[in-house]
Amino acid sequence: MGALTRERDVREAYAAHSGELYGFAVRSLGDAGLAEEAVQETFLRAWRAGDRFDPEIGSLRTWLFAILRNVVIDLGRARAARPRVAEGGVEPSVEPLEQALLAWQVEEAMRRIGEDHRKVLLETHFRARPYSEVAEELGVPEGTIKSRVYYGLRALRVALEEMGYED
Amino acid sequence: MRTDDHRDWKLSLGAYALGDLPPDERAAVAAHLEGCEECRAELRSLEGVAALLPLADPARIEQPTARPPADLGARIEAQIAAESAREGRARKRRRLRLGFGGAIAAAAVAAALAIAILPGSSGESSPAQKVDFASLPKGVSIDATLEPHAFGTEIEMYVSGVRSGTLCRVFLRDAKGRTYSAGSFRYRWGEDSHAVLSSALDLSQAKVIGVHAGDRTFMAPVDQATALVGGAGIDAT
Ligand SMILES: [Zn+2]
């Protein structure tokens, strides 16, 4: 796909990327309605600026996420500016948003890897349970838990790379 | 070092990267890493991912992936189609201005005079009319530009926000309520969103323009006073 100048291009872009964009918008805005608004605004801005998208420079996905990132900042500001008793009332800064994007990518990557690998990483790493206990619960040797941790991390890396992650 | 051993060491690297190995095993893996470049490279790649894990929230991982509402795509399509149509009209107006320049203005003045002097005269001398459909359902946008011709009226119509594939049948009505078909088109999202049609009714006789879109009908009055020529409104009264 070249520049994003035809309505059909936008439709294809929506089919390919709206799920991820929406998932991240929900996570960072914490509200399904605002997330919808953010995704809609993202595709409108993408279409208006479509002739400036250059696939030689970066992927469409990266470009759309960069637009969404700005939209989320704008929406966060608008929300913060609304006169109501603020929850913290802090304007979202760039740093936590980049971190939110990365956190969402890791969570999404975890959802994409195989069930066996996800389960073992969740129990041993996130819930800090001993390998022996998880092995017993799953009815497999402890060595299997260890190798699932290894293959799970490798799968996670592949899933993250598919989402544009690089070290 | 046998290949099998090496594979066993490799399988421990995930737990090593996450800091999950008991001290004795950890020391053994560290000793192997000293002498194995391949395992060191593998470890570096795993450590990058392991460092990201603390960012994730396990409760969120176990939630199903959030999906956008099914109609969000269609709403975005409608909005873009509407913008696209507005841009198309702006281009057309620019083209008219560029193409005909002063001649259009002179003709418009002549036409305006003709209407002022001879109301209800032949459509051929009337200027083009821009019609706005007011009070449409949310998300739907329709407007039309009507141009007088010897054969009757040419209608350039922009529709957006209806379901892609919808059959749109356009008509004009005169003061006596008689309907004159202007033909039909199918609204297709993603294609050029305007259609050019024609009706036998003289523009000067047209009181109403309407479109049956699917099972709905939208109508708008043809206001003979709001002429649009080359982007400028001409007051005919
Ligand atoms: Zn090795």
| pLDDT attached to residue A160 | 94
pLDDT band at B105 (very low <50, low <70, confident <90, very high): very low
Query: What CA–CA distance (Å, rounded) separates B224 from B153?
Result: 13
User: In the numeric block, which tokens belong to residue A14?
Assistant: 């929506």
Domain extent, residue A123, equals 113-167
B61 close contact with A: CB closer than 8 A: yes
Query: What CA–CA distance (Å, rounded) separates A127 from A124?
Result: 6
What CATH number should be reported for the domain holding residue A90?
1.10.1740.10
Specify the amino acid at residue B198.
S
| pLDDT attached to residue B73 | 92
Rounded to an integer, the average pLDDT of B133-162 is: 80
What CATH number should be reported for the domain holding residue A119?
1.10.10.10
**In 3D, which of A166, A164, A156 has the Cα closest to residue A59?**
A164
Rounded to an integer, the average pLDDT of B50-57 is: 93
| pLDDT attached to residue B100 | 42
Q: End of a domain among A79, A101, A123?
A: A101
**In 3D, which of B47, B62, B54 has the Cα closest to residue A99?**
B54
Rounded to an integer, the average pLDDT of A44-73 is: 87
A113-157 pLDDT, tens digit per residue, is: 999 999 999 999 999 999 999 999 999 999 999 999 999 999 999
Asked if A42 and A64 touch (Cβ cutoff 8 Å), the reply is: yes
Is the model more confident about B51 or about B125? B51
| pLDDT attached to residue B124 | 40
Query: What CA–CA distance (Å, rounded) separates B8 from A115?
Result: 23
Q: Tell me: do A82 and A117 sit in the same domain.
A: no
Q: Which of A6, A11, A148 to mutate to test the interface with B (most CBs of B within 10 A)?
A: A11
| pLDDT attached to residue B145 | 84
Specify the amino acid at residue B59.
A
Q: End of a domain among A101, A135, A153?
A: A101
Asked if B206 and B158 touch (Cβ cutoff 8 Å), the reply is: no
Tell me whether residues A150 and B53 touch, CB distance under 8 A. no
Within a domain: residue A108?
no
Nearest-5° Cα angle at A40, A39 to A45: 95
Domains of chain B: which residue ranges? 3-55, 64-235
Q: Among A48, A124, A147, whose Cβ lies nearest the Cβ of B11? A: A147
Determine whether domain B3-55 maps to CATH 1.10.287.
no
CA A152 to chain centre: 19
B57 close contact with A: CB closer than 8 A: yes
Specify the amino acid at residue B109.
V
